[in-house]
Amino acid sequence: MSDVALTRSQVADLVDHTLLKPEATTDDVKALVDEARSLGVLAVCVSPSMLPVKAPGLVTAAVVGFPSGKHHSLVKGAEARLAVDQGAQEIDMVIDIGAAVAGDFNAVLADVLTVREAVGDHTVLKVILETAALSDEAIVEACRAAERAGANFVKTSTGFHPAGGATVEAVRLMAQTVGGRIGVKASGGIRTAQAALDMIAAGATRLGLSGTRAVLDGLPD
Read off the pLDDT of residues 199-220 as tens digits, 9 standing for 90 and up.
999 999 999 999 999 999 999 9
CA atoms 71, 75, 79, 84: torsion sign: positive
Mean pLDDT of 19-44: 98
Q: Any residues with CB less than 8 A from the CB of 137 and at least 6 apart, and which?
A: none
Catalytic residue numbers read: 92, 155, 185
Give the pLDDT of residue 78.
Answer: 98
The per-residue pLDDT of the chain, averaged, comes to 97
Q: How far apart are CA 191 and CA 173, in angstroms?
A: 21
CA 52 to chain centre: 19
pTM of the model: 0.97
As beta bridge partners, residue 17 has: 44, 209
Give the pLDDT of residue 5.
Answer: 84
Q: Any residues with CB less than 8 A from the CB of 195 and at least 6 apart, and which?
A: 189, 215
Domain boundaries, the chain: 64-217
Give the pLDDT of residue 203.
Answer: 98
Mean pLDDT of 134-153: 98
Q: Any residues with CB less than 8 A from the CB of 203 and at least 6 apart, and which?
A: 171, 172, 174, 175, 176, 184
> Which CATH topology does 64-217 take?
TIM Barrel (3.20.20)
Q: How far apart are CA 93 and CA 173, in angstroms?
A: 20
Which tens digit of pLDDT belongs to each residue from 38-72? 999 999 999 999 999 999 999 999 999 999 999 99
What φ, ψ does residue 185 adopt, rounded to 5°? -105, 125
> Given a cut of 70, is residue 164 above it in pLDDT?
yes
